[in-house]
Amino acid sequence: MKVSLFITCLADLFYPEVGQATVELLERLGCEVDFPVAQTCCGQPAFNSGYHREAKKAARHMIETFAHADYVVAPSGSCTAMLKEYVHLFSGEDEWEWQEKARALAEKCYELTQFLTEILGVEDVNATLPAKATYHRSCHMTRLLGVKDAPMKLLANVKGLSLAELPCAHDCCGFGGTFSVKMAPISQQMVDEKVVHIEETDAEVLIGADCGCLMHMGGRIRRQGKPIRVMHIAQVLQSGLEKEGS
């Protein structure tokens, strides 16, 4: 199966290891992985801040970049939700052409764990991670994209991993893109509360499926000097197998 990767800008610049794990994981599961080099950013920062003209620039570019892909897979719930949002972004009367193209893109976009379970039909990727962990279900992934169970199914089959339920898992971590800097004091209260809940689980590892949330929570955890490791779910699913893939 041919898969075109969308490695989000945060993963590209700050977490290349997340992209690498994604590539290795997909290849290990028999996919032919392509990375269209023209890709940039999904446009979320502009869209959520109300700059829709700029968001449309990003959208048109991404639509064209992935026009020939069979499947577009991204290791991010939030950015995948944004790719699907393009359909609504082009809602003007003279934009129906772009809307059609946006719809075509939306139909072939998948968040990584969603792709694994729904398209590849895999729930056990044969990974091993002996650790106690907890999972942060990010808001856009669960509420906007509607992907709730896929990560859980996959994590349940990771050998050695014991997964503790995160108290108040439904609460936002306080990232929210530009919110995290524009409303830093509120964002801080939210993330501090989240860190308290994570600590309550006694987890050594915090797992998530969105680099944005992980960068925010991980950054706060580091600032507070807490001994909690932060991992993207792609890395977890590739744990114990890194060498085999390449």
Partner 1 sequence: MGIQFGDVVFYRRVDKGIRDQFMRSAVRAAQERMRTSRLRAAEELGDWEEWRRLGEEIRRHTLEHLDYYLEQLSDRVHALGGHVFFAQTAEEATSYIRDVVQKRDARRIVKSKSMVTEEISLNDVLEAIGCRVVETDLGEYILQVDDHDPPSHIVGPSVHKDRERIRRVFAEKLGYTGSAEPEEMTAFVRQQLRPDFLTAEVGITGCNFAVAESGTVCLVTNEGNGRLVTSLPPVHIAVMGMERIVPTWEELEVMVGLLCRSAVGQKLTSYINCLTGPKAAGDVDGPEEFHLVIIDNGRSDILGTEFQSVLQCIRCGACLNVCPVYRHIGGQAYGSIYSGPIGAVLSPLLGGEDLYRELPYASSLCAACTEACPVNIPLHDLLIRHRQKTAEEKRQSPLGERLAMKAFGMVAESPRLYRWGTKLARTALLPWEEDGVIRQGPGPLQPWTSIRDLPSPERETFREWFENRRKRGERP
| Number of Cβ atoms within 10 Å of the Cβ of 85 | 21
Looking at the Cβ atoms of 190 and 198, the one nearer to partner 1 is 190
How many Å apart are CA 195 and CA 218, to the nearest integer? 9
Half-sphere exposure of 81 (CA within 13 A, CB side): 18
- Select from 72, 150, 155, 172 the one that contacts partner 1 (CB under 8 A): 172
Q: Of these, 108, 143, 153, 197, which contacts partner 1 (CB under 8 A)?
A: 143
Which of 144, 152, 164, 241 forms a contact with partner 1 (CB under 8 A)? 144
The answer to whether 174 contacts partner 1 (rule: CB under 8 A) is yes
CA distance 184 to 222: 17
DSSP sequence for 152-207: HHHHHTSEEEEEEPPTTTTS--S-TTTHHHHTHHHHHHHHHHHHHHHHHTT-SEEE
Task: Give the residue with the Cβ less far from partner 1, 75 or 161.
Answer: 75
Using the rule CB under 8 A, give the single segment among 107-115, 139-147, 154-162, 202-210 that binds partner 1.
139-147
The kind and range of the H/E element at 142 are none
Strand partners, 159: 128
47 part of the interface to partner 1, by CB under 8 A: yes
State which residue, 182 or 229, has the beta carbon closest to partner 1.
182
In 225-245, which positions are buried (b, 16+ CB within 10 angstroms) versus exposed (e)?
eeebebbbbbbbbbbebbeee
- Residues 87-126, interacting with partner 1 (CB under 8 A): none
* Distance of alpha carbon 41 from alpha carbon 9, whole angstroms: 6
Closer residue to partner 1 in complex, CB, 38/121: 38
Q: Which x/- pattern over 2-41 shows residues binding partner 1 (rule: CB under 8 A)?
A: -----x-x-xxxxxxxxxx--x---x-------x-xxxxx
Q: How far is the CB of 57 from partner 1 (least distance, A)?
A: 4
Treating both helix axes as pointing N-terminal to C-terminal, what angle do 77-89 and 52-65 enclose, rounded to 10 degrees? 110
- In the complex, the residues that contact partner 1 under the rule CB under 8 A are 7, 9, 11-20, 23, 27, 35, 37-41, 43, 45-54, 57-58, 60-61, 139-140, 143-144, 170-172, 174-177, 179-191, 193, 215-216, 218-220, 222-223, 246
